[in-house]
Chain A
Amino acid sequence: MSNFEVGQEFAPKTFLIDRQLLVAYANASGDQNPIHQDEAFAKSVGLPDVIAHGMLTMALAGKYVSDLAGGSGAVKEFSARFTKPVVVPANSVVELVISAKVSALENGCAKLDLTAICADSKVLGMAKAVISLS
């Protein structure tokens, strides 16, 4: 883990999101908000379609960070802004592409800037993580 360098970029990884994953995440996280499962409800509150939980997008970015860090146990801090919804139409698979760059090294930790892209738009803003290198 000690070979992290400032400016180093990590290869992007694509995560696939479909309606089934939204239901699985709702059950695992306890967030059963119908805007993430019920198309009619989502449209009734002004959304274009069912949208993914922002926290699912963040959790998938967290999986990417955990893999870089050598395990979830090394992740000390993680933050993101939900800038755009990830729209998940029925019977389709949406691609979420996560990548990262080392912004700083200090106190035995690496700071990462993360990018999350879906349908050519950034869906997370100011996405950052701090991982322990020890």
Chain B
Amino acid sequence: MLDPDLVGRTFVGASSTVVTQEAITNFARVLGAENFDVAPPTFSISITLAQSQTLLQESGLDWSRVVHGDQRFVLSRPIVAGDNFICSATIESARVMAGNEIVTVRSDLHSGSELVASTWSTLVVRA
């Protein structure tokens, strides 16, 4: 069970992630894309999923029982090779519905002071 005191708290990653051209190309190619100059719209999940799991490791959230409920991306500009991101994860809300925990996590990717991508994931922790 997620520690309810953590709702509203933001956890900021200690180290940054550099986006490589290889990572963009690999992701885009799987989708059948032929243009690799900018990252596909959902590429940021390849950074934020692992980072958020690490950042929220001590939160009490049982990641092994998590089902992805919904996902939203807002991009202020496309992600490109060379971007050097610090990831932060905020637990925006947590509630229990029919025995399942429903947790909304916002993950932001900052390059310096610039907020490039915000993502919201609704996670359903199955009872």
Q: Which residues of A contact B (CB under 8 A)?
A: 15, 21, 24-25, 27-31, 54-55, 58-60, 62-63, 65-66, 71-73, 75-82, 125-126, 129
Which residues of B line the A interface, CB within 8 A?
23, 26-33, 35, 37-42, 45-46, 49-50, 67-75, 77-78, 120
- A73–B75 Cα gap in the complex (Å)? 9
Nearest Cβ in chain B — how far from A37, in angstroms?
14
Known A58-B42, A77-B74; 11 more pairs at CB < 8 Å: A29-B27, A29-B46, A54-B68, A63-B40, A66-B33, A72-B41, A73-B77, A78-B73, A79-B120, A82-B69, A82-B70
Q: A55-B71, A63-B33 are in contact. Are A71 and B38 (CB under 8 A)?
A: yes
Q: How far is the CB of B121 from chain A (nearest CB, A)?
A: 10
Would A79 and B72 count as touching, CB distance under 8 A? Answer: yes
Interface contact B49-A29, CB-CB below 8 Å: yes
Task: Give the contacting residue for A28; candidates B41, B46, B68; CB below 8 A.
Answer: B46
Contact B69 A62 (CB under 8 A): no
Question: Please, which residues of chain B bring their CB within 8 A of the CB of A25?
Answer: 30
Q: Are B38 and A73 in contact (CB under 8 A)?
A: yes
- 28 A–B pairs (Cβ distance < 8 Å), ordered by A: A24-B30, A27-B26, A28-B30, A29-B45, A29-B49, A30-B49, A31-B46, A31-B49, A55-B68, A59-B40, A62-B42, A63-B33, A65-B41, A66-B40, A71-B35, A72-B35, A73-B38, A73-B77, A75-B41, A75-B75, A76-B74, A77-B72, A78-B41, A79-B120, A80-B70, A80-B72, A82-B67, A129-B41
Q: Do A72 and B38 form a contact, CB below 8 Å, given A30-B50, A55-B45, A62-B31?
A: yes
